[in-house]
Structure 1
Amino acid sequence: MADNSSCPGGELKYYTWEDVQKRCTRDERWLVIKRKVYDITRFCYRHPGGPRVISHYAGQDATDAFTAFHIDKELVQKHMKCLLIGELAPGQPCVEPKKNAALVEDFRALRSTVEQMGLLKPNKLFFFGVLLHILFIDVLAWLNLYYFGASLIPYLITVLLLGTVQAQAGWLQHDFGHLSVFGKSKWNHLVHKFVIGHLKGAPASWWNHLHFQHHAKPNCFRKDPDINMHPLLFALGKKLSVELGIKKKKYMPYNHQHKYFFLIGPPALIPLYFQWYIFYFVVQRKQWADLAWMISFYVRLFLTYVPMVGIGGTITLFFLVRFVESNWFVWVTQMNHIPMHIDYDDNKDWLSTQLQATCNVDQSLFNDWFSGHLNFQIEHHLFPTMPRHNYPKTAPLVRSLCKKYGIDYQSKPLFTAFADIVHSLQESGELWLDAYLHK
């Protein structure tokens, strides 16, 4: 046994994978990082990323997730010393049983190659240019009304311009939220609050709480909040839809979900749900700094547009902009995930977990701009801190590794990706109906 002086009265012990896998309850949570065993039972509630994202790996090997999410690993590991309770016994494999050890090691070698090629280093001028183009469109929207007046056509043009601002600012805040721009976390967090709070009117804490869970376990039911609409609104995934039908559960007429998606999906998510929920979130969790940033957005909006279109015109403008943003946001973010594999967490290796839940959309200048480079969803999920301008350079390396192991690497045209959302909803709805009626 080895002493651990940083943990009062504690000694490092040897454990098996079976020992770790048993500790995935509310009362006891362990995980493994680089063969070291950590007890996160109490720490998860103090975890900067929130308790859920780290708890999703309870009883599992979190090595690749830990590596993917943290940019200053040495600093983080210093804070983890008091959580260290032991290590895997000498006879225990480095990779969890039932996982492909060769695949895991090859992916880790790929990550080392990516680091050595400098693909995790950002070009700050790129992100500065993205910010400038957002601010330019924002000013252009105001100038349009100032010079052409508040008649219908200029008014609608301003709506489209401000909708573009909101969508593009959404992709930019995503970059800062993933620590992709600066080498220090604190600078990414600070600018993230400005972009999502002041430019968009949303809280950074809310985004962090939801989005990192999505990345940790994409398309995993009860772990990925992005698929929480199952089963209340939609039946998602082939297996889950059949399971829902067998249980004779019918919260909605799921066999028609590919139709009502057009009503309660893209047009409604932001203006009818997110818009009020973000205020509930920050007040409930007492995130007062985030609330102040959000208020600054609304103050700027009203000071800018009330003199030209009045209070009623500004409120209408705001909700029309949210409508445009919502459609843009939902189609782009769901095209990579909804048509893919959706199921319970089966604890696969990092590469397989991300590839079965994500697909790409073909590269073009328009697709890159329109989606904020989230058309490279596969590379983004494998390397979430990677600056988006390096995705195209990384894609051939990922394709090669996938080909070696026969893993499906999907890339499709933009409108095919949009259509696949609807087709997948129709298919899962039909599977639910068949199980509901006949099983």
Structure 2
Amino acid sequence: MGVGGQLTDTVEAGSGRDAGVFTWEEVHKHCSRKDQWLVINRKVYNITQWTKRHPGGSSVISLYAGEDATEAFTAFHPDLNFVQKFLKPLLIGELAAAEPSQDPNKNVSLEIIFVNEGLRQRKMVCLRRSLCSSASIWVTSCCWSDVTVCAGWLQHDFGHLSVFKKSGWNHLVHKFVIGHLKGASASWWNHLHFRHHSKPNVLDKDPDVNMSGLFVLGAVQPVEYGIKKIKHMPYNHQHQYFFLLAPPLLIPVVFNLQILRTMISRRDWVVRCQPMRRRAL
């Protein structure tokens, strides 16, 4: 969320309901690229104009168009008091009193389990334990002669801002590790990883399970897609061509194309210099 959003939709006159009061059914309708609403703590916001200016990227916030974004909003914004003021220009109303606070499409019983177990609480990882854990991974990876594995886990922890108490140090080390040791873009990783944690394991929304049309996840779906010739590949035989396509395409081709796309779409010209310089060496 942020300042500068402009309201493009208003409540229609003579619609038979009070102005600024909406049902979940109405909210669900506003999920297109040019018309996006979402709900945070029962408040309804029009984010259509704000998505392109969202600091976390338009794709992250757009994942919740037409849905309840309360949990994601809380998880991604540590300083809620600071971002609350940015919501005001986007506010268009609230849910009707008869509407449930939770999106009816959500599993309420599962949500209760998460809350009771304290899994929704934000916790700062102890600096000493994080450093010890990172050190152990480093030593293990070096013994395995695979420093890139270690660098991958290190950049992940720093990217989550979970090592140092001050986020600035986490950002600095994260850019160094992923840029100079992994040869990738910190901005690209953040862009994809934010989407992953926004919609984990949701097909077409979580990039970590997006196989770019080359593979299909699951035990039944690949066979069905292959026999019925759905999409592009003979997915019922993907276990045979996986090792021929995945290793040579994933890092040299797919990841670099994604980095270029992120660089151009988000205009992050500086971060691209790190992987380019490393490959030049």
Range of TM-score over shorter length: 0.7 to 0.9
Tell me which residue corresponds to 1:254.
235
AA aligned opposite 2:41: K
Tell me which residue corresponds to 1:123.
126
Tell me which residue corresponds to 1:42.
49
Tell me which residue corresponds to 1:288.
269
Tell me if the contact between 2:114 and 2:120 (Cα under 8 Å) persists in the aligned partners: no
* Per-residue Cα deviation, 1:157-207 (whole angstroms, up to 9, x for no partner): 9xx62xx21111111111122232344544433332122112211101111
Unaligned runs of 5+ in 1: 1-5, 141-156, 303-439
Using the aligned pairs only, state the percent identity.
52
Q: For the residues of structure 1 that align with 2:190 and 2:120, how far apart are their CA atoms?
A: 28
Tell me if the contact between 2:226 and 2:233 (Cα under 8 Å) persists in the aligned partners: no
Tell me if the contact between 1:21 and 1:60 (Cα under 8 Å) persists in the aligned partners: yes
**Structure-2 change in CA distance of 1:95 and 1:249 (3 Å):** closer
Indicate which of 98, 122, 142 corresponds to 1:91: 98
* Per-residue Cα deviation, 1:21-40 (whole angstroms, up to 9, x for no partner): 11111221111111111111
Tell me if the contact between 2:188 and 2:258 (Cα under 8 Å) persists in the aligned partners: no
Indicate which of 147, 164, 174 corresponds to 1:165: 147
Alignment of 1:356-435 (within 5 A): none
Tell me which residue corresponds to 2:69.
62
Shift of 1:130: 5.1
Q: For the residues of structure 2 that align with 1:283 and 1:113, how far apart are their CA atoms?
A: 35
| TM-score, reference length from structure 1 | 0.53
Tell me which residue corresponds to 1:224.
206
AA aligned opposite 1:42: Q
Bigger helix fraction: 1
Tell me if the contact between 1:130 and 1:172 (Cα under 8 Å) persists in the aligned partners: no
Tell me if the contact between 1:177 and 1:189 (Cα under 8 Å) persists in the aligned partners: yes
AA aligned opposite 1:126: R
AA aligned opposite 1:201: G
Q: Matched residue of 2:152: which SS?
A: helix
Confirm whether residue 274 of structure 1 aligns to residue 255 of structure 2. yes
**Structure-2 change in CA distance of 1:281 and 1:262 (3 Å):** same
CA root-mean-square deviation: 3.4
Q: For the residues of structure 1 that align with 2:28 and 2:220, how far apart are their CA atoms?
A: 24
Q: Matched residue of 1:290: which SS?
A: coil
The count of aligned residue pairs is 268
**Structure-2 change in CA distance of 1:188 and 1:270 (3 Å):** same
Indicate which of 214, 218, 223 corresponds to 1:237: 218
Indicate which of 29, 32, 39 corresponds to 2:36: 29
Q: Matched residue of 1:92: which SS?
A: coil
**Structure-2 change in CA distance of 1:63 and 1:81 (3 Å):** same
Q: Matched residue of 1:37: which SS?
A: strand
* Per-residue Cα deviation, 1:83-141 (whole angstroms, up to 9, x for no partner): 222211222211122544344244234337855xxxx1212123334555677789x7x
Shift of 1:50: 1.3
* Per-residue Cα deviation, 1:236-275 (whole angstroms, up to 9, x for no partner): 3367547645863362222221122122224642234324
Q: For the residues of structure 1 that align with 2:104 and 2:79, how far apart are their CA atoms?
A: 29
| TM-score, reference length from structure 2 | 0.78
Tell me which residue corresponds to 2:14.
none
Indicate which of 167, 173, 190 corresponds to 1:191: 173
Shift of 1:59: 0.8
Shift of 1:223: 1.5
Q: For the residues of structure 2 that align with 1:123 and 1:198, how far apart are their CA atoms?
A: 26
Tell me if the contact between 2:226 and 2:236 (Cα under 8 Å) persists in the aligned partners: no
Tell me if the contact between 2:226 and 2:235 (Cα under 8 Å) persists in the aligned partners: no
Tell me if the contact between 2:226 and 2:237 (Cα under 8 Å) persists in the aligned partners: no
Q: For the residues of structure 2 that align with 1:134 and 1:265, how far apart are their CA atoms?
A: 25
Shift of 1:226: 2.7
AA aligned opposite 1:291: R
Tell me which residue corresponds to 1:263.
244
Q: For the residues of structure 1 that align with 2:207 and 2:94, how far apart are their CA atoms?
A: 32
AA aligned opposite 2:36: R
* Per-residue Cα deviation, 1:47-93 (whole angstroms, up to 9, x for no partner): 22211121111111111222233322332323222222221122221
Tell me if the contact between 1:71 and 1:179 (Cα under 8 Å) persists in the aligned partners: no
Shift of 1:224: 1.9
**Structure-2 change in CA distance of 1:212 and 1:86 (3 Å):** same
Q: Matched residue of 1:172: which SS?
A: helix
Shift of 1:218: 2.7
Tell me if the contact between 1:29 and 1:40 (Cα under 8 Å) persists in the aligned partners: yes
Tell me if the contact between 1:201 and 1:297 (Cα under 8 Å) persists in the aligned partners: yes
Q: Matched residue of 1:265: which SS?
A: helix
